[in-house]
Homo-oligomer: A and B are copies of this chain.
Amino acid sequence: MKNNKRPLIFVSNDDGYYAKGLDTLIKVVSKYGDVIAVAPESARSGMSHAITIKEPLRIKKLRDEPGIKLYKCNGTPVDCVKLGLNKVVPRKPDIMVSGINHGSNASISVIYSGTMGAAIEACLNGVTSIGFSLLDHSPDADFTATAEYVEKVFKFVLEKGLPEYTTLNVNVPKIAPSEIKGMMVCRQTHGIWKEEFEKRTDPHNHDYFWLTGSFNNFEPNAKDTDEWALANNYVAIVPIKADFTAYHALEHISDLNTEL
A interface residue numbers (CB < 8 A to B): 43, 45-54, 56-59, 76, 78-79, 82-83, 85-87, 108, 110-112, 117, 120, 124-125, 152-153, 156, 160, 162-163, 165-166, 168-169, 181-185, 187-188, 190, 192, 195-197, 199-200, 206-211, 234, 237-250, 252-260
A57 touches B245 (CB 8 A): no
- A50 CB contacts on chain B under 8 angstroms: 46-48, 50, 76, 112
- A254 CB contacts on chain B under 8 angstroms: 185
Q: 12 interchain pairs (CB within 8 A)?
A: A48-B78, A50-B50, A51-B211, A56-B210, A87-B199, A153-B256, A168-B253, A182-B259, A185-B254, A190-B243, A234-B260, A238-B244
State how many copies of this chain the complex holds. 2
Given A125-B192, A181-B259, A196-B86, A241-B250 contact (CB < 8 Å): no
B86 touches A195 (CB 8 A): yes
B197 touches A252 (CB 8 A): no
CA distance A184 to B259 in the complex (A): 9
**Sample of 17 further A-B pairs with CB below 8 A, known A162-B249, A188-B244:** A50-B76, A50-B112, A56-B210, A57-B210, A57-B211, A82-B197, A86-B196, A87-B199, A108-B124, A125-B192, A160-B255, A163-B248, A163-B252, A182-B257, A184-B257, A184-B258, A188-B243
A253 touches B209 (CB 8 A): no
Instruction: Select one of B169, B185, B248, B258 contacting A244, CB under 8 A.
Output: B169
A162 touches B56 (CB 8 A): no
A56 touches B208 (CB 8 A): yes
Nearest-neighbour CB distance to chain B for A115, whole angstroms, equals 13
- A165 CB contacts on chain B under 8 angstroms: 190
B240 touches A246 (CB 8 A): yes
The listed residue with most B CB atoms (<10 A of its CB), out of A43, A48, A252, is: A48
Nearest-neighbour CB distance to chain B for A12, whole angstroms, equals 15
Instruction: Select one of B87, B197, B245 contacting A240, CB under 8 A.
Output: B245
Residue of B nearest to A237 (CB): B256
A156 touches B239 (CB 8 A): no
- A51 CB contacts on chain B under 8 angstroms: 46, 48, 112, 211
B244 touches A249 (CB 8 A): no
- A200 CB contacts on chain B under 8 angstroms: 56
